[in-house]
Structure 1
Amino acid sequence: MEQVMTGAAYDEIADWYETEFIPAQSAPDDPLGIHDALRELLGPGAGPCLEVGCGTGAYAGAVRRLGRTPVGVDLSAGMLRHAAGRLPVVRGDATRLPFADAAVPAVIAMMVHTDMPGYPAVLREVRRVLAPGGVFVHVGVHPCFCGAFADRSDPAVTVIRPGYRERGFSRDSWTSRGVRDKVGAMHFPLAELLGAFVAAGLTADGFAEGGGPTPITFSVRAR
């Protein structure tokens, strides 16, 4: 039910996301370190790279620059309407990926785990579809410094209020110019997030943090 609600919420904001939000986030200096993390942790390769929760396909070009072939899956038909011109896409639930076992050599999840209440189940599906020797890269908001408990309204200071340890969904946001006040966000404390990788049978072998002065993104490479 929560997955369906998230898809419907993104259907409503898909045009705004494509025309306003993504261009505003695409500064050439990569202030959140998203593209740096993808280059560092995924790296060059060949063959298909499945993006779970691909949205409008904003990262398809970055995947191609690494020599890989992007393929996307997302629940939101509205977002996929914009993505279809950037990469091959299929509409589907990330907790039941429409791909065969051991089918793809690489999987990425870019800034989406807070949109997926069932992210532990998503990680189990990632493990299922990864080919032997395959790599998975998770790039997401930093669970310690981003969420309903974190006030980032002052660029120089992040204020952490009570709530970090509370797993759950919230629409609270320090800004009205982002995504979270519109569709909400699921928060997983860091230990729970990393524990979900272990429970899924994924072994982490690389990490990165991006943005500042307090980190905004937290990235994991797993196999």
Structure 2
Amino acid sequence: MAPTAAYDEIADWYETEFLARAAGAGDPLNLGGLLRDLLGEGRGTCLEIGCGTGVHAALVRELGWTPMGVDLSGGMLGHARGRLPVARADAERLPLRDGSVPAVIAMMVHTDMPGYPAVLREAARVLRPGGTFVHIGVHPCFCGGFADFSDPEAAVIRPGYLDSGYWTKESWTNDGVRAKVGATHRPLPELLHAFLDAGLHLTRFAEGTAPTPIILAVKATKPA
């Protein structure tokens, strides 16, 4: 994951300013709609990897699941504890037994995790056979230092998209999380192959926002 201190340092800003601004805008990235559609209603534990301040727990609970979260940042978890049960843990070494949960979600965190392929393997390990994994994150093709959003009607993709595994704080805005803590970039084929290499079966896809899809959502299952 991103260095712990980076998120510890911005935890209060994230909770009191960034989330408040997002709430006032009415979920402009449609994260709630995508999660509702891909996770769906269910029962049992839904583990959120990289839960941050726990803002998605209410919707997970509304869908019938029992939310539980893990994150590496103590500062972020300080805000999450009032929203769901949490544990401080490395996403590449989850403190859960094999096949112990029916659902796992990762919300807007894969760019925070340089070892995301290992995170996907851990998600597959802790999922029950037939269990659901939902990934919702920034779209590799349209979000990154290479994406120029100077024109609100279109994104210009400059050199850098095809490069893999690099960390950068370059962003189209200096008012967001990425400009503060940076992000890891992987091209789309590499990201999707990481799901397959983890043994997950890809079942559904969605893209969010217009005219340029800033969000990519993936639903996968663990083979029975």
User: What is the TM-score with the length of structure 2 in the denominator?
Assistant: 0.95
Residue 157 of structure 1: SS of its match in structure 2?
coil
Change (3 A) 1:64 1:28: farther
Residue 136 of structure 1: SS of its match in structure 2?
strand
Distance 1:144 1:178 in 2: 18
Report Cα offsets for 1:173-219 as digits up to 9, x if no partner.
Answer: 12111011110000110000000000000011000100111001000
Distance 2:149 2:23 in 1: 19
Tell me which residue corresponds to 2:212.
Answer: 214
Q: Quote the offset at 1:49 in angstroms.
A: 0.3
2:111 to 103, 110, 114: 114
Distance 2:204 2:192 in 1: 12
Moved more, 154-163 or 67-76: 154-163
| Alignment partner of 1:44 is 2:41 | yes
Residue 121 of structure 1: SS of its match in structure 2?
helix
| Alignment partner of 1:201 is 2:204 | no
The answer (yes or no) to whether the contact 1:50–1:108 under 8 Å persists in 2 is yes
Residue 71 of structure 1: SS of its match in structure 2?
strand
Change (3 A) 1:202 1:57: same
Q: Quote the offset at 1:154 in angstroms.
A: 3.4
Tell me which residue corresponds to 1:17.
Answer: 14
Residue 55 of structure 2: SS of its match in structure 1?
coil
Tell me which residue corresponds to 1:98.
Answer: 95
Distance 1:170 1:63 in 2: 31
Counterpart of 1:188, as a letter, is: R
Q: Quote the offset at 1:27 in angstroms.
A: 4.5
Distance 2:178 2:138 in 1: 12
Would you identify which runs of 4 or more consecutive aligned residues in structure 1 move more than 4 Å? Answer: none
Q: Quote the offset at 1:28 in angstroms.
A: 6.3
1:131 to 83, 107, 128: 128
Tell me which residue corresponds to 2:168.
Answer: 170
RMSD (Å) for aligned C-alpha atoms: 1.1
Change (3 A) 1:30 1:164: same
Moved more, 25-34 or 120-129: 25-34
Distance 2:202 2:25 in 1: 29
Report Cα offsets for 1:115-136 as digits up to 9, x if no partner.
Answer: 0000000000000000111000
Q: Quote the offset at 1:29 in angstroms.
A: 4.3
Gaps of 5+ in 2: none
User: What is the TM-score with the length of structure 1 in the denominator?
Assistant: 0.96
Residue 26 of structure 1: SS of its match in structure 2?
helix
Distance 1:28 1:163 in 2: 30
Residue 215 of structure 1: SS of its match in structure 2?
coil
Aligned identity (percent) is 65
| Alignment partner of 1:86 is 2:76 | no
The answer (yes or no) to whether the contact 1:153–1:175 under 8 Å persists in 2 is no
Distance 1:27 1:195 in 2: 36
Counterpart of 1:172, as a letter, is: E
Tell me which residue corresponds to 2:23.
Answer: 26
Moved more, 147-156 or 132-141: 147-156
1:184 to 177, 182, 188: 182
